[in-house]
Structure 1
Amino acid sequence: MRVMGVDPGLTRCGLSVIDGSRGRQIVALNVEVVRTAVDVPLPGRLLAISDVVEQWLDTYRPDVMAIERVFSQQNVSTVMGTAQVGGVVALAAAKRGVAVHFHTPSEVKAAVTGNGGAGKAQVTAMVTRILGLQAKPTPADAADALALAICHCWRAPMIARMAAAEAQAGGQRQRVGAKVKAAR
């Protein structure tokens, strides 16, 4: 499975692509941080990020995209910028039929380090170790993008089982509802 991880941010947007196979074997293909200048108007910044994301989608052709879910922060403008970037990135994936999954920061930290409250240094150290990298990915946005891709790769089997169980339960609800309706 090829996973593109995205740590959305208006000033720094982390991008990564990994290949995962059975078990926990993962190979990093690329990682980059897209930077936009604060003096550029918002539409221009979003377009710059979108252009790079679309180039990556066309180059790497991921099976799925893992994006960090926006969470409440004290700085509303940061949250808005992060959400806008996440939307632009999800749209680019949807245009190409690439499945999109959102993961919270605590899900990512728990998957990669075993601790949902881990700090950035711990996440970076574990990403470096998991991928067998010679050097730590920098800045933190690069490590976070890799952690998102790893998280999704490892959680994908469970996500698929949950979707299958929900579909089966939905079918059972319909059959039971039809029997109840017929019995009336």
Structure 2
Amino acid sequence: MSLLVPLRRLSDGVNQVAIVLCVACILTMLGISFTAFVYKLVTGSTLSWTYSLARLFLPWIGFLSMTISLRYGEHVAMTLLVRSLPRVLLTVAAGLCLAVIALFGLMLVWYGWIFFEGANQVYMVSDQIQISAKFTAIVIPISGVIILLHLVQGFDLLEHFIDDDTVIDELIETADGENRP
């Protein structure tokens, strides 16, 4: 049990790094797109490489945001159905859900690594800009490792165990505390 605490801290830290990377990718895409827009306004012609370069960040945004949403319990869940189960079956369903998530993470690592090793192509963004396909392929096994790391959070990843009344009471108390002078 003493090993879980540092692993959970590591999971939280990795999650923060993933958030920063997602924001950086989005800002980079926006910067590239804005550069193309301004260039078009100023010169009247287009930069051919901006669209191709900007879209290389989409896999990073997609896969990393998947791990972030998992960490906050924002993944697809059949909450209404699962919450209607008795507590014992709820625990079994949650365990099965975590097992499926673990299997998905393992598959991302395994097949993602095979895909990464085989990614020998080079994206010809322009004559001067050439980017290896490994740049986009590596995010697949990385996201699988992050998903597996987040599993140390256990049932906290699943919203099945959140007590709605407690959450509502906490929100009301927070709102009341903000309104007081």
Per residue, is there more helix in 1 or in 2? 2
TM-score by length of 2: 0.25
TM-score by length of 1: 0.24
From the CA coordinates, give the structure whose radius of gyration is larger: 2
